[in-house]
Structure 1
C-alpha cells in the first residue's frame, strides 16, 4: 500500500515543485538563494567609473593592516558584479579570506549614464590609470591588476601606458594578446583584419551593442554548451537543493551579468587590437600617445583555458612575445572562457592561485607550485587557432559525449586545402583596385598627393595617419590643418602653378606644407637644408620659401619672401617689425575668404607637382616630378608592399628626398597606412620607435641600414613588428645581414628612373640584388639588344631594334606615359612603325625567369683593354663575400686605357683572402671581373647613403700593398698587386 502511495505522490510532488520553482523563475528571473553581496565601500565615484573597496578596513586600533591590494577589472560587456557572484566562491571573498585587499573598478552600464554610449576604449584605460593612482595613494602599496578577458587587455594596455609605474603585477584570465594568432576554422588573418576594419568604420560607428546583444553573442559562441545548460536546468527544476549552488552563476550569465557596449569602444577595439593587432606590434594610441606592451616590466601571470574558444591559448600566450622585458608565468586550467573566473574550478584553483601569487610577490610565501614560466615560443604564422576538427569534436562531445576522431583528418584537410586560395583572393582584392586606378591615369586625370589625403580623410576620418615624437594624428586632423594652411597661403598671395620652396626639417608641419601646396595646385620645391640654397632657389624658380623656425636664419639670407610655419604654439621668432617675414601661424584661417579661382586639388597627372634635388658631381641638379610620377611610385609602392591600414611605415629619409616623398609618404597615403616620421637614423631611437610605433614597414636608401646593423649596441628583439623593408640600392651583403637580423622580415627593392617612366620591383626578395620585374599597371618596358663594345643598339634586317634575349646585355626602354621630360632620349620606330620609346640609358640583363639585373649606366660602363667591364655585377659579387662591408667599382683613366678598379671595405675584425676574391668573381653570372681590387679604410657616402668614388678615382690606380690584388690573365685568378704588376697595368698600356 505504501509503495503504491509513493508511486502516486512522488510525481505529484515533483510536478508541484517544478511548477513552484518555475513560477519563481518567471516572476523574479531566478530562484531566491538568500545570498548577500560582499560588503564594499565606494572610494571614488566619477561619471566614467566607481572604485569599490571590498571588506574595507574599519581602522580600529589593533586591527591587522590590509594585505596587498588587487584591483579587478571586468570586460566592457560584463557587470563588475562578476567578481562577487557568490561570497563563498567568488573572487573577492576568496582573496579577502587569504589576506588580500580586493578592489574592483566598476565602469557601470554606459546606457544608463549621460554620454556613456560615446565612451571609447581610451576612456576605460584612462579610468583604470586614475584608479591605480587612487589605490596607491590610499594604501601606499603597488597594485596588482587582475583582468578577465578584455579586462585583462585593459590591464596590459594600462600597464604599458604607465610604463608599469606603481604596478606590482598583472594577472590576466583568458585575455587575448595576439588576436590574429588563433582564428577559428583556418580563417586567414588578413580576412579577419579586413572584416574588422570594415565593421569598425561602417557598422559600429553607427550601432551600439545592447546588453541582450552582448549576452546573445556570448552564448552563440558555444550554442551547444548553452543549450545543454538550459536543458539541465529544466530537468532539475524540481530539485531546488541541486539548483541553488549554481543559481547565482546561472542568473549572471542568463540575464544580470550583461551590460551595454558603446559603439565607439567596439570600433576602437576592432580597429586597434583585431584589425591591426597592435597588442603585438605596438603603436596603439592612448590619448594621442603611442604605447607598446614592450614597456611592461612588472611580472605577469596568464591563466590559459585549454578549451577556451575566446581567449585561445595561442592568443593568450602572445604576451610572452609582446612584453619581452617582463617575467611571464602561466597557469593552465581545463576550463572554458567563463569557467576561468567563475565556477567550481575558479573557486578551487584560480583564486587560491591568485592569492598565492600575490603573497609570493609580496615575499610572504614561496612560488605557487602550479605556475610555471611561460615558454618563449613564437606562434606559427600558419596556425589558425583551434582547428575545425577540434571544434567539431568539442561540440559533439559537449552535446553527447561521443568520440569523433575520424572527423579530425577530413576536417583539417578541408581547412588546409582552402587556406591558400583565400589568402590569394584577399591580397588580390587589396591590390587590384590600386593597379586598376593606376592603369586608368592619363594626362587629364586629376590626381595628386593632397587629393589622395582628402579621399582617405573622407573614407576614414578617424583613421590614424601621422606619427611623430610619440604622438599620433588622424587623417581628419591632418586634413583640417592642410586646409587651414591653404587659406594662409592664399592670404599671402600664393596661387596655382606658383613655385614655392619648402625649407624644413622632417616634421608634421613639413608634410602639411607640401600637401597644402599640392591642394592649392602650386609646385613644392623641396630644398635640402644642407645644399646651396641660393642655387636651389635659382634652379627651382622659387618666389617664396616656407620654412620652420629651425631654418629661419638660413632662409632669411635668400632673396625671396619668407613664410614661417610650425614650430609649436609657444615659439617666439624674435623678429623685428620690419623683417618682412610672414608668420603663417598668426593668420586666422576663418578670416580668409576663398577666391573664386580656387578649386581644391586641381592637379592633373601631367602637371608639375614637385621639384627635388640631387647632387651629381658636386653640382645641384633639379628633378621635376609630375603628379603622374608621384602617383606611379605611390600606387606601385602600396601595391608591391601590400600596404593597408594595419601598417605603419617608418620614414627614415627626409621628406625633401625623393624616397621620402614618393615611396614612404606616397605608399602610406595610397595604402591608408600610418606614416611615422623620424628625426634621423640613430640605432637607439630606431629600436625604441619601431616598438612604440608598431612599425611594420621601414623605408631606406642605399646603405642607410648599415649604420643600424653594424652598431655594436643594436640588438633587435626577435619579436619586432617589422615585416618589410622598402627602398632602393641596398648592397647585396647588407641585404643578407638585414634579413638575418630582422627575421622573418623581407625586403622589397625598387628601381625607378627619375622621370618615373620605369619602375621595377623585386617583390619576392628571393633573388638578392635583382631589381625584379615591372610593376603591374606601371607602364611597359623592354630590353633593346645592346652591343657594349661599340655602344650600339642592335637592329634586325628590317631596321627595327632587336629584343635582348635571356642573359644578353640590353638597354632598358620605356613606353612613355604622361609628359615626356624634354631632356629624355626619345626613340621612334623602335619595335614597330611609329612607336615611341624612351631610353633610360641603363644597361640590364634579363634572366631566364624574367627578372631584371642592373649592369650599369650606359655612360659609366668601363671600357678596359680586356673588354667592357660592367660595374654592378662586380659590386654585387664582392658584397656577397661575408667579410666585405661595402664595395664600389669604378674606372681609372690611364695612358693606355681604362683600368677597372673595385674598392672594398671590411667588416670589423674580418679579413678577405685571394681565394675569396677569385671565387666571387668566378661565380659572377655575367661580365668580366675588375683589373684591381683593393681594401680601403672607408667608402664615403652621399647624403642618400650611396657610396661615392670620386676621391678614389682621382687618386688613380691603387698602389701595391698587402690589401691590393690584380687579375692575372695567365692564371685567371687574382694575386697580390706588386710594383711591377701596377706598372704593367699603367705603364705598359701607354
Structure 2
C-alpha cells in the first residue's frame, strides 16, 4: 500500500466524501482520484515515467495535491520546493535533484527563463495558472521566451490524460519523495523518502491522532514542508478526512476558516499559536476544534498553557524531522499530556536517548535522540558518506539533545549544535527561552551563544515584547529564576525575529547578524 493507492481505495469505498476544500470550492474523493488519474496519464503522455524526478514548485493549492499524487501514481519521484526560494537555491536543488519536469506557477515563468539554461536535464515546465499570473500575462509575451517550447499548461496536461488508470506496480522501497533539508549545516541534503516511509508515517500519525472521516483538518503550514505534507495532508487523506487548504497563514483567515467549515484539527508551529493568541479572537472562533497539533520547533510551556486556557482546546506537541518522514512522537490523546514534552513514541517507531558511544542513558539523563522504524529515510540523495554518518546500525541520529522520563515521555533539550558552554557548564538555549516566555510582556525570544574572553561563551537574547521594556528589568527577571551561569549577559530588543517559511525562528540568522 502507498499514499496514492490508499486514496484510490477511499475513492471506491467512500466516493462522495469531501476530500478537500479550497477557497470555497470542494472536491470529493471520487473527483480527486479521477483528476489524479488524468494528471498521471498526462505526465506519461509527455514521457515522464517511473523513476523520473519531478520538481513541485507551487504553494498550498489543489495543484500541489494533484502534482504529488499524480506523479506518485506513475512511480515518479517528487521533489517539493519552496516557491519563494532564491534563484540560486532553486537552481541548486533542481540540478542536484536531476529534475526532468517542473510543476510551477505562471508567476515564476520569468525566473525559470533565467534558470533553464542551467538546468540541462529539465525537459518540461508544467505551468499552473494563478489569478495574478493571468493578469500579468496580458503584458508579458511568453511565446517570445527561449524556454517557451518547454512550457505546457497544467490544464493541457490534465486534458491529455485519462480518468481511469491502474498505473505500474510500485515497490515499498521505491523513492517517492526527496525532501531537501534547510541546509543549516551547509548545502541542503536530499532526504530520500520511500513509498513505505510516507504511507506508514501518515497512517500511523493519523491513527495516533484518531483522525477519521468526520475530521476536517486545516492545512495552512507550507505543503512543501514535511510537517504539513504528512500531518495535515497525507494523514487525513489516508483516513478519509477532509483537508481544508489555506494558501497562507493569517490569524483572521484561520478564525474565519475554522468557524465557516467547523474544522476539527489545526496543525501549526509555535509562532502561529503565538499570533493566534495575540490576536483579538475568542473561544467561539475555534470552538469546533477538538485538537491542535504543534511541531517544527519546541513549544514554550507558557505559550501552550495560555493558548489552551484562552481557546479551551488541547495542543498535542510532537516531534519529527525530514529524515523520519517526519513524526516519531506525539503527546497521546488517551493519557495525560505533559506540557514541555514531545510526548511518547508513536506506533511502529522506536526512540531512545544515547550517549557519545551510542549507549542508552538512564531516564532523566540528557543525550542524543536516535530513531528507528519504517519511517526512516533510505538515505541522502547522492551523499553516501552523509548517509553513513546519519544512519548507523539502522538508527537515525537526529542531532537533537533529549531526555526521557520514567513514563516514557521525551523532552527535547536543544539542538546539539546550539548548546552554549559557559565556563565549562552546559546551557541549553531552550531553558533560558522558557523563562523569558513566562514573562507576561514577552512575545518571542531566541537565545544564542556569543564568544566571551573570560568564560568561552556568553548568553545573548533577542526579544520581542508587547510593551516597552528595559534590559535590566528582564535580566533581573532571569536572575531570579536561573542559576547564575545561565543568566543572559545582554538582551537586544527587536520588532520581530527572523523566521523561515514555516514560521520557525532562525537562530542561524541571528548568529550571522552578530558575526558568530
TM over 0.5: yes
2:292 is aligned to 725
Are 2:482 and 1:921 equivalent residues in the alignment? yes
Contact kept? 1:902, 1:930, Cα under 8 Å = no
Find the aligned partners of 2:261 and 2:402 in 1 and give their Cα distance: 39
Judge conservation of contact 1:773–1:850 (CA < 8 Å) in 2: yes
In structure 2, what is the equivalent of residue 858 of structure 1? 416
Match of 1:537 in 2: 94
TM superposition shift of 1:507: 1.1
CA-CA distance at 1:928 after TM superposition: 6.4
Residue 252 of structure 2 corresponds to residue 684 of structure 1: yes
How far 1:898 sits from its partner (Å)? Answer: 1.7
Q: 1:807 to 1:619 in 2, by over 3 A?
A: closer
Q: In the alignment, which of 654, 668, 673 is matched to residue 222 of structure 2? A: 654
SS in 2 for 1:451: helix
Contact 1:816 1:838 survives alignment (8 Å)? no
Distance 1:464 1:864, change over 3 A: same
Q: Distance in 1 between matches of 2:435 and 2:190?
A: 31
Aligned match of 1:634: 202
Deviations 1:175-230 (A, max 9, x none): xxxxxxxxxxxxxxxxxxxxxxxxxxxxxxxxxxxxxxxxxxxxxxxxxxxxxxxx
The answer for the alignment partner of 2:442 in structure 1 is 884
> Kindly tell me: are residues 762 and 668 of structure 1, through their superposed partners in 2, closer, same or farther at Cα, counting changes over 3 Å?
same
Deviation at 1:480, TM superposition (A): 0.4
Give the aligned partner of residue 308 of structure 2.
Answer: 739
SS, match of residue 755 in structure 1: helix
Query: By how many angstroms is 1:537 displaced?
Result: 1.2
The 1:726–1:766 alpha-carbon spacing in structure 2 relative to 1, beyond 3 Å, is: same
Does residue 613 of the first structure (1) align with residue 174 of the second (2)?
Answer: no
Cross-structure match for 1:75: none
Asked if structure 1 preserves the Cα contact closer than 8 Å seen for 2:323 and 2:377, the reply is: no
CA distance in 2, matches of 1:769, 1:775: 17
Within 2, Cα distance between the matches of 1:670 and 1:474? 14
The answer as to whether partners of 1:901 and 1:957 remain within 8 angstroms in 2 is: no
Cα distance change on mapping 1:483 and 1:708 into 2, 3 Å: same
CA distance in 1, matches of 2:163, 2:208: 42
- After TM superposition, the structure 1 stretch with the greater mean CA deviation from structure 2, 574-583 or 531-540, is 574-583
- Pair 1:913–1:686, CA change in 2 (3 A): same
Q: 1:700 aligns with which of 259, 268, 274?
A: 268
Structure 1 residues 142-181: aligned runs within 5 Å: none
Corresponding residue of 2:489 = 932
Q: Which has the higher contact order (CA 8 A, sep 6+)?
A: 2
TM superposition shift of 1:755: 1.6
Q: Distance in 2 between matches of 1:680 and 1:737?
A: 24
Among 211, 233, 257, the alignment partner of 1:643 is 211
Work out the CA distance in 2 between the residues paired with 1:864 and 1:665: 43
1:802: Cα distance to partner? 4.1
Distance 1:956 1:593 in 2: 56
Residues 885, 906 of structure 1: 8 Å contact kept: yes
* Closer, same or farther: CA 565–462 of 1 in aligned 2, 3 Å: farther
1:585-604 matches, within 5 Å, as 585-587=155-157, 589=159, 600=167, 602-604=169-171
Aligned runs of 1:509-588 on 2, under 5 Å? 509-531=63-85, 532-559=89-116, 560-567=122-129, 575-576=142-143, 579-580=148-149, 581-587=151-157
The answer as to whether partners of 2:443 and 2:466 remain within 8 angstroms in 1 is: yes
Per-residue CA distance 1:824-861 (angstroms, 9 max, x = gap): 43676xxxxxx653322222111232211111222322
Quick one: distance in 2 between partners of 1:930 and 1:616?
A: 30
1:63-82 deviation digits (Å, cap 9, x = unpaired): xxxxxxxxxxxxxxxxxxxx
What are the Cα deviations for residues 447-488 of structure 1, in whole angstroms up to 9, with x where unaligned? 332122112111101111110001221000010001001111
Q: Displacement, 1:494?
A: 0.3
**How far does residue 886 in structure 1 lie from its aligned partner after superposition?**
1.6
CA distance in 2, matches of 1:593, 1:850: 48
1:701 deviation in Å?
Answer: 2.2
> How many residues in Structure 1 have an aligned counterpart in Structure 2?
483
The equivalent of 1:780 in structure 2 is 350
Bigger Rg over Cα: 1
- Helix, strand or coil at the partner of 2:322: coil
Which ranges in structure 1 are unaligned for 5 or more consecutive residues?
1-446, 787-791, 794-800, 829-834, 959-990
State yes or no: 1:474 paired with 2:28.
Answer: yes
Matches within 5 A, 1:204-283: none
1:491 to 32, 42, 45: 45
Deviation at 1:935, TM superposition (A): 4.5
CA-CA distance at 1:954 after TM superposition: 4.5
Does 2:22 align with 1:465?
Answer: no
Secondary structure of 1:703's counterpart equals helix
Match of 2:331 among 742, 762, 776: 762
Q: Which residue does the alignment assign to 2:403?
A: 845
- Report deviation, 1:736: 2.4
Structure 1 residue 719: Cα displacement: 6.3
Structure 2: state its 5+ residue gaps: 117-121
> What's the counterpart of residue 119 of structure 2?
none
8 A contact 1:519–1:602 mirrored in 2: no
1:906 to 459, 465, 468: 465
Distance in 1, matches of 2:163 and 2:406, equals 62
Matches within 5 A, 1:83-102: none
Residue in 2 that maps onto 1:341? none
For residues 113-162 of structure 1, the C-alpha deviation after alignment (integer angstroms, 9 at most, x for no partner) is xxxxxxxxxxxxxxxxxxxxxxxxxxxxxxxxxxxxxxxxxxxxxxxxxx
Distance, in Å, in 2 between the alignment partners of 1:849 and 1:725 is 23
Partner Cα separation in structure 1 for residue 91 and residue 238 of structure 2: 34
Which of the residues 792, 804, 813 maps onto 2:361? 804
In structure 1, distance between residues paired with 2:9 and 2:282: 40
Q: CA, structure 1 residues 535+838, in 2 after alignment: closer, same or farther (shift >3 Å)?
A: closer
Alpha-carbon deviation of 1:562? 3.6
Distance (whole Å) between structure 1 residues aligned to residue 163 and residue 221 of structure 2: 37
Q: Deviations over 1:284-334 (max 9, x none)?
A: xxxxxxxxxxxxxxxxxxxxxxxxxxxxxxxxxxxxxxxxxxxxxxxxxxx
Q: Check conservation: 1:747, 1:763, Cα contact below 8 A.
A: no
Looking at structure 1, the residues matched to 183 and 206 of structure 2 have their Cα atoms a distance apart, in angstroms, of 29
Q: Distance in 2 between matches of 1:952 and 1:505?
A: 27
Pair 943,857 (structure 1): closer, same or farther in 2 beyond 3 Å: same
User: Closer, same or farther in 2 for the Cα pair 1:928/1:462, shift >3 Å?
Assistant: farther
Cα separation, 1, equivalents of 2:490 and 2:407: 31
| CA deviation profile, 1:774-806 (whole Å, cap 9, x unmatched) | 1122x222222x3xxxxx33xxxxxxx543112
1:524 CA displacement: 1.1
Q: Note the alpha carbon deviations across 1:636-672, whole angstroms, 9 max, x for none.
A: 3212321111111101112112122111102111221
Residues 956-981 of structure 1: per-residue CA shift (max 9 Å, x gap): 599xxxxxxxxxxxxxxxxxxxxxxx
In structure 1, C-alpha distance between the alignment counterparts of 2:503 and 2:174, rounded to whole Å:
30
Contact 2:105 2:130 in 1 (8 A): no
Aligned counterpart, 1:942: 500
Name the counterpart of 1:72.
none
Q: Give 1:539 deviation, angstroms.
A: 2.4
